[in-house]
Amino acid sequence: DAKTTQPPSMDCAEGRAANLPCNHSTISGNEYVYWYRQIHSQGPQYIIHGLKNNETNEMASLIITEDRKSSTLILPHATLRDTAVYYCIVRGPSSNTGKLIFGQGTTLQVKP
C-alpha cells in the first residue's frame, strides 16, 4: 500500500470549514484513498473514500488532485464533535488482507 503523510495536528474554528491534507505520492492507479476518524475510546468511523474523482457525502467532501498524489478532506462546517484523530489511508488490490495501517493521523481540534 502507498504510504501516506499527514500533518500531526490542526486547529479549526467552530462553524468554519476544516481542510485536512494528505500526501500519497506513491499511490498506484487502482488504489483508493480512504478517510477515517477516531474519537477517543470509540472505534474508527468511516468518512469517505474515492479513486480519482471528487466525492461528497453527508459528512464530508474528498478532493483528490489530478495526479492523485495528494488529497484533502473537507468538513464544511466543523463542530466541536468533529474533534478527533483523522486518518488517511490507501487501499488497493494488493492490500494485505483486512490490514489497515492508520499511521499517526491528524489530530483536529475544533475550537469554539
Partner 1 sequence: KAGVTQTPRYLIKTRGQQVTLSCSPISGHRSVSWYQQTPGQGLQFLFEYFSETQRNKGNFPGRFSGRQFSNSRSEMNVSTLELGDSALYLCASSSTLQGQGIGYNSPLHFGNGTRLTVT
The contact set with partner 1 (CB under 8 A) reads 31-32, 34, 41-46, 49, 51, 91-102
Shortest reach from residue 36's CB to partner 1, in Å: 8
- Closer to partner 1 at the Cβ: 38 or 72? 38
Shortest reach from residue 73's CB to partner 1, in Å: 14
Shortest reach from residue 76's CB to partner 1, in Å: 20
Shortest reach from residue 5's CB to partner 1, in Å: 16
Sheet architecture: strand order including 61-64: 18-23, 70-75, 61-64, 55-56
Nearest to 71 by CA among 14, 22, 20: 22
Three cell numbers, residue 10: 490542526
- Closer to partner 1 at the Cβ: 46 or 77? 46
Contact 1, 98 (CB under 8 A): no
Contact 52, 30 (CB under 8 A): no
- Closer to partner 1 at the Cβ: 21 or 32? 32
- Closer to partner 1 at the Cβ: 2 or 14? 2
Q: Give the whole-angstrom CA distance, residue 89 versus residue 101.
A: 7
